[in-house]
Amino acid sequence: MCVYVRGICLSMIIGILLPGCALAAKPTGTLPLMKNVKRIVFVGDSITDASPWPDWVVETLRANGYPHLEFRNAAVCGDTTTLVMARMDRDVLAYKPDMIILLIGTNDAKGTPEAYRTNLEKMLGTFAATGAKIVQLTLPPALNGMGDNVDKNNDVIREITRKHGIPLGDPHALFLQEMRAGKTLLCDDHLHPNLDGWRAIGRATLDALGFSGPMLEKVPAFPGTIADWYSGPALGVKSIEEFLKDHGEMITPAFDPSKAGWKPYDAKSIIEKASWADVGAFQRGALAPIGYPVPANSFGIACTVVKVAADTKYVMHVSDFATMAVWLNGEQVFYNANRIHGLHPDAERVTVTLKKGENRIVAVSNIYFYVTLTKE
């Protein structure tokens, strides 16, 4: 499947193909654009945040000559170019990416194309100054009344990528092609991609990278995922403060979840129940301790014990979409009250020290969440 752009074929300039152009298969590990690329960061909004298509792209590359490829999903639901620039040092540049893949601008369609152009030029300039390779993606069509402005932002994207010779993947053109053929690629809100929409974005990204083989739809567990948890009951509280007042004993090292009737968390059954929209999150290691679908207005709690042979510093990777708190050995190490940095495993990072022997971790949240550990 090819990547398309209106007008001329730019394949010799920025790697774009016209409809019907044959993209010759490359031997594994020999894609020119992937040379010396070891770390990729994906930047975007809700079309990318928590979506599986970045995982699919990376897993496909790992299986085709790039087994040591690392990546980070640095997208955040609701983001604009302005919001990305405000957090780019922390969430993008700090990872020293060799490649940055951008799909950002749908929420900017609420503003003007001129403002979008200014921000996109500035953002791409900052990214390029680091030496990272950049792959820019067009925005999927919007059929919810924002379509004209989305199209104008796509014109900006095409103009800027031509101007600077930036490789361009064209999900927008691929969406239109498949929608004309009768396929539905958007959810009922006529804005967010459905499963086939995600597939089209992944395909367009791989085509932009020069890979024409089949895409591997695989979402691996995030490194450091903790497998063994106990699930507690629905807490019947409306805030973390209320939880501490009514159930504070649950965070203490002396509390025994098995004696309190808590059950081992059954990740397999959650994955089997999950919808196409959520299954990728649970495959990555997200927890829904009070079941799936997650009940509205309910806080859930989970507990685990991690054993280490000596005092060791770890990075605790935490993510939640709303309100969440985490305690380690009775001490609160994380609290998030509606500070959204993305619903993916590495959205927030906290350095903690695990003591020799058993360490009890307790997490409370009102939606599904991630808690993983990697050595510092």
pLDDT by residue (tens digit) across 212-224?
Answer: 999 999 999 999 9
Say yes or no: 83 and 203 in one domain: yes
- For 273, other C-beta atoms within 10 Å of its C-beta total 14
Tell which phi-psi region holds residue 105, choosing left (phi > 0), alpha (psi between -120 and 50) or beta: left
Say yes or no: 59 and 204 in one domain: yes
Say yes or no: 243 and 125 in one domain: no
Per DSSP, what are the bridge partners of residue 350?
316
Instruction: Identify the DSSP state of 224.
Output: T
Strands (DSSP E) along the chain, which ranges?
39-44, 70-73, 99-103, 133-137, 168-169, 230-231, 263-264, 300-308, 312-320, 323-328, 331-337, 348-354, 357-365, 369-375
Say yes or no: 197 and 246 in one domain: no
Say if residues 108 and 141 touch (Cβ distance below 8 Å).
no
Say yes or no: 26 and 131 in one domain: yes
Q: What percent of the chain has pLDDT over 70?
A: 91
CATH of the domain at 327: 2.60.120
**Residue range 47-64: average pLDDT?**
96
pLDDT by residue (tens digit) across 97-135?
Answer: 999 999 999 999 999 999 999 999 999 999 999 999 999
pLDDT by residue (tens digit) across 280-309?
Answer: 999 999 999 988 988 877 889 999 999 999
Instruction: Answer whether residue 355 is part of any domain.
Output: yes
CATH of the domain at 86: 3.40.50.1110
Q: Which domain holds residue 283?
A: 230-375
Instruction: Answer whether residue 64 is part of any domain.
Output: yes
Say yes or no: 205 and 234 in one domain: no
CA distance 39 to 133: 11
Q: Is 333 exposed, middle or buried (0-12, 13-18, 19+ CB in 10 A)?
A: middle
Assign 247 a pLDDT band (cuts: 50, 70, 90).
very high
Distance of CA 70 to the CA centre of its chain: 13
Assign 319 a pLDDT band (cuts: 50, 70, 90).
confident
Say yes or no: 23 and 155 in one domain: yes
- Pull the structure tokens for residue 118: 């200014």
Assign 339 a pLDDT band (cuts: 50, 70, 90).
low
- Pull the structure tokens for residue 339: 């500070």
Instruction: Answer whether residue 177 is part of any domain.
Output: yes
Say yes or no: 58 and 134 in one domain: yes
The predicted pLDDT at position 341 comes to 67
Instruction: Answer whether residue 190 is part of any domain.
Output: yes
Instruction: Answer whether residue 309 is part of any domain.
Output: yes
Per DSSP, what are the bridge partners of residue 263?
231
Instruction: Answer whether residue 250 is part of any domain.
Output: yes
The predicted pLDDT at position 323 comes to 81
- Final residue in a domain of this structure, among 174, 209, 244: 209
**Residue range 181-205: average pLDDT?**
97
The alpha helices in the chain, defined as continuous H runs, are: 11-14, 53-62, 81-91, 113-129, 147-164, 171-180, 195-209, 240-247, 267-273, 279-284
198 vs 100, 207, 257, CA distance in Å?
18, 14, 39
Say if residues 351 and 314 touch (Cβ distance below 8 Å).
yes
pLDDT by residue (tens digit) across 12-34?
Answer: 223 333 333 434 445 578 999 99
- For 7, other C-beta atoms within 10 Å of its C-beta total 9
Average model confidence (pLDDT) across the chain: 90
